[in-house]
């Protein structure tokens, strides 16, 4: 039987570690074996293990914490996702979803649901605003990264082995150069534009789907009376146009306990009335610091971020867990990346494709957000 204290996600592992710590297309040949896509199982949908050593994630014979263990998944290992079923939940957890795989059953909150869809790379960058570049989305379970400008500056890079420097399915990032590898394949130079420590990477271009300006067309731009209601008691988010509900999803708001079971009021999602004051296609988010009493965290390329309080509380996509419906965050409102993208397109102000960033901190023109008071 496993206990919630035994499960540590990659993000949580990093949190603990950090407490202690132009249009020109093809450039010269670039040699690096790590820039190859890993092989993944064949299946329409896959599940990626988000639990990180020293913790382990078991495959069980039945969807129960008391069932026999068939084996343990390795870091970032992917398995074929057949379907979700209802089973028992571990001590202290409320989520009863399990994923059925060809080998057995895995507790769903610890599996990111992903696909493996390599893309045909482009060889010439489109012109975007003043510069050549494009926004891209990862469409494979993960893609390895090689650092262009060592030494690494981001805390998360220094907290783990360079063999685990990766971007994951659904992450969004900016591409501003293209190179040819020694085998003739194409590599993208990926770089964060906001919140970055300055690290720049190269990665296999096949891992990325180009996001076009057309697909980011605003949803219902003619409607002025828009409002989001976040219910931290129900762990839900609802979008309204006037009195009509137009969108609903489960979320993960600020958690009440840390990974050791200690109460942490400072991680609660702020309650009250707010408005979206800044939106970014992708944001590097960090918090805490070495020697702090709280765990630090450092996560790159968080997609579809809508800030509504200060510089750190936002609605955004989360790729490091699948536990929506359960308090999980450090104060933000986590949604699936797909839900976050819809919310991003629907809310105001509208972020332009070039630069992927817009802010209006003083005029109160962004979409209204109400966070309902916690009852317990």
In a shared domain, residues 51 and 76: yes
**What is the number of domains present in the chain?**
3
Establish if 257 belongs to a structural domain: yes
Establish if 3 belongs to a structural domain: no
Establish if 2 belongs to a structural domain: no
Domain's final residue, options 172, 193, 211:
211
In a shared domain, residues 240 and 365: yes
pLDDT of the residue at 296: 67
- pLDDT tens, 66-107? 999 999 999 999 999 999 999 998 887 889 999 999 999 999
The CA-atom distances, in angstroms, between 143 and each of 84, 88, 167 are 26, 33, 5
In a shared domain, residues 274 and 358: yes
Q: Which CATH number belongs to the domain containing residue 297 in this structure?
A: 2.40.440.10
Establish if 182 belongs to a structural domain: yes
Nearest Cα residue to 298 out of 136, 158, 111, 114: 158
What is the chain's mean pLDDT, rounded?
87
> What sign results for the dihedral spanned by CA atoms 321, 327, 329, 333?
positive
- pLDDT tens, 134-180? 999 999 999 999 999 999 999 999 988 898 999 999 999 999 999 99
pTM of the model: 0.89
Q: How confident is residue 27, by pLDDT bands cut at 50, 70 and 90?
A: very low
Where do the H-state alpha helices sit in the chain? 10-20, 155-159, 337-346
48, β-bridge pairs: 78, 112
Q: Which CATH number belongs to the domain containing residue 50 in this structure?
A: 2.30.30
In a shared domain, residues 79 and 104: yes
Element (H, E) at 182: none
In a shared domain, residues 230 and 330: yes
In the predicted structure, residue 360 carries a pLDDT above the cut 80: yes
In a shared domain, residues 226 and 335: yes
In a shared domain, residues 192 and 341: no
In the predicted structure, residue 345 carries a pLDDT above the cut 80: yes
Domain's final residue, options 160, 177, 211:
211
**Separation between Cα atoms, residue 227 and residue 291, nearest integer Å:** 39
Cα first-last separation, the chain: 29
Domain's final residue, options 211, 235, 257:
211
- Tokens at 54, concatenated: 């020293």
| Domain residue limits at 281 | 216-372
In a shared domain, residues 252 and 362: yes
């Amino acid at each position: 039987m496993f206990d919630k204290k035994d499960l540590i996600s990659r993000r949580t592992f990093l949190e603990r570690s950090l407490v202690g710590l132009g249009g020109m297309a093809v450039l010269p040949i670039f040699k690096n074996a790590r820039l190859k896509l890993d092989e993944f199982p064949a299946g329409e949908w896959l599940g990626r293990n988000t639990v990180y050593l020293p913790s382990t994630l078991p495959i069980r014979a039945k969807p129960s914490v008391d069932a026999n263990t068939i084996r343990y998944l390795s870091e970032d290992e992917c398995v074929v996702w057949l379907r979700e079923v209802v089973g028992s939940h571990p001590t202290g957890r409320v989520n009863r979803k399990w994923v059925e795989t060809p080998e057995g059953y895995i507790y769903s909150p610890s599996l990111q649901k992903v696909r493996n869809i390599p893309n045909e790379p482009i060889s010439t960058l489109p012109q975007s605003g003043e510069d050549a570049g494009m926004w891209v989305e990862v469409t494979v379970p993960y893609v390895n990264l090689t650092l262009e400008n060592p030494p690494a500056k981001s805390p998360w890079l220094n907290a783990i082995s360079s063999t685990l420097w990766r971007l994951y399915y659904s992450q969004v990032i900016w591409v501003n150069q293209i190179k040819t590898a020694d085998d003739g394949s194409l590599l993208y130079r990926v770089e964060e534009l906001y919140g970055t420590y300055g690290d720049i990477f190269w990665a296999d271009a096949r891992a990325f789907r180009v996001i076009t300006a057309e697909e980011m067309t605003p949803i219902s731009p003619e409607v002025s009376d828009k409002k989001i209601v976040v219910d931290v008691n129900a762990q839900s988010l609802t979008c309204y146009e006037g009195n009509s509900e137009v969108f609903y999803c489960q979320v993960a708001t600020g958690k009440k306990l840390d990974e050791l079971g200690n109460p942490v009021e400072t991680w609660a999602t702020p309650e009250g009335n707010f408005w979206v004051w800044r939106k970014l296609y992708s944001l590097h988010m960090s918090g805490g610091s070495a020697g702090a009493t709280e765990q630090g965290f450092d996560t790159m390329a968080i997609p579809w971020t809508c800030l509504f309080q200060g510089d750190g509380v936002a609605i955004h996509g989360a790729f490091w867990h699948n536990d929506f419906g359960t308090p999980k965050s450090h104060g933000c409102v986590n949604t699936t990346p797909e839900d976050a993208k819809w919310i991003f397109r629907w809310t105001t102000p509208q972020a332009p494709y070039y630069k992927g960033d817009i802010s209006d901190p003083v005029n109160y023109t962004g979409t209204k957000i109400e966070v309902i008071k916690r009852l317990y």
